Amino acid sequence: MSDGVLPALLRLEEYLALDDNLILQAIKETRECNEWARRIYERDHLSEAFVTSPHHLGLSSYLVVSKLKQEFEDRYGKDGYVDDKARKLPANPMFGLEKREEEDAQETRYATITVQDKHDPNCCESVFDLSLPLRLLSQANLNIVRFYVPRQLKEEASRWCRKRWEQIQTKVKTIEKRWI
């Protein structure tokens, strides 16, 4: 490591060789030129001001979230951060993923939780195959957006986000009623 920049980690062994001291040293060395390193080093973390409730992927939901996100970014600029990475992700990201082996075109299904049959220790199944409620929950999309600001702005931003969320939802619902 030089100048706080970690070398490209090309092998798993290199990644596993990283330790807390090496990572903290990189953070310390880059804190002057990297805002996120500075925030970690000085423990000046952003605070969650608002989180949307899980919502559907429909047009009205998209309009509400997009409008709030745009207005939030206009209002809080570089001080604010919108985490919309949880949009369109399955509740269990490993459920239903399939890997195709090119050589023999086999499909392998991955599951995050495997349950062993107590009568046949060689038989294991996905908990999602055994539980209908878990299967239904895992197939649902999780659509949550989180809004972050510096600690000193949290209360004001929280009130503003809640108010704008409700106002935008009301406006979109009014428009929807006219379409029907």
- Residue, of 30 and 131, whose pLDDT is higher: 30
Q: How confident is the model at residue 90 (pLDDT cuts 50, 70, 90)?
A: very low
* Same domain for 37 and 120: no
Cβ–Cβ under 8 Å, residues 123 and 25: no
Written as one string, the DSSP assignment of 101-125 is -TTT--EEE--S-EEE-SS-TT-EE
Query: Could you tell me if 21 and 6 are in contact, meaning their C-beta atoms sit under 8 angstroms apart?
Result: no
User: Which letter does DSSP use for residue 87 in this model?
Assistant: T
pLDDT band at 111 (very low <50, low <70, confident <90, very high): very low
Tell me: do 102 and 135 sit in the same domain: yes
Residue 93, domain member (yes or no): no
Place of tokens 């649902």: 140
Domain carrying residue 37:
1-44
Q: How many CA atoms lie within 13 A of 148 on its CB side?
A: 10
Query: CA 7 → CA 14, 22, 27, 97, 151, distances in Å?
Result: 9, 11, 14, 32, 33
Q: How many domains does the chain have?
A: 3
Q: With 0.75 as the threshold, say if the pTM is over it.
A: no
Residues 107 and 171 in one domain: no
Verify that 147 and 62 share a domain, yes or no: yes
Residues 5 and 20 in one domain: yes
> Is 50 or 101 the better-scoring residue by pLDDT?
50
